[in-house]
């Protein structure tokens, strides 16, 4: 399964109704669109570390890495390549 598909599946499965509409685009901002909240970001970080075998450093928890499916997929790919 592709990285972005895994991320989207996790968000849809764990959203607990935090966003209305049932779907979102890969470039939609998680926070601006209400797809995940601050607690959801922490859950997402734990998922990323477990699922993709990478360690997320505190200084990497920025919107450029964690605010959309596209950005997160790119971040994960870079981290895996660096390992």
| pLDDT 10s digits, 6-47 | 999 899 888 766 555 567 899 999 988 888 888 888 999 999
Q: What is the pLDDT of residue 22?
A: 62
pTM to 2 decimal places: 0.88
Please, are residues 8 and 45 in contact by the beta-carbon 8 Å criterion?
no
Q: Looking at the domain that runs over 3-11+27-82, which CATH code has it been given? A: 1.10.1200.10
Torsion of CA 33, 49, 39, 13, to 10 degrees: 60
| pLDDT 10s digits, 38-77 | 888 899 999 999 999 999 999 999 999 999 999 999 999 9
Please report, for the chain, the start and end positions of each structural domain, with discontinuous segments joined by +: 3-11+27-82
d(CA 21, CA 34): 11
Q: What is the pLDDT of residue 52?
A: 96
């Amino acid at each position: 399964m592709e990285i972005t598909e895994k991320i989207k599946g996790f968000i849809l499965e764990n959203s607990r109704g935090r966003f209305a509409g049932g779907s979102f685009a890969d470039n939609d901002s998680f926070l601006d669109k209400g797809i995940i909240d601050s607690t959801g970001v922490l859950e997402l970080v734990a998922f990323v570390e477990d699922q993709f075998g990478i360690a997320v450093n505190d200084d990497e928890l920025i919107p450029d890495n964690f605010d959309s499916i596209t950005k997160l997929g790119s971040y994960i790919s870079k981290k895996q390549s660096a390992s």
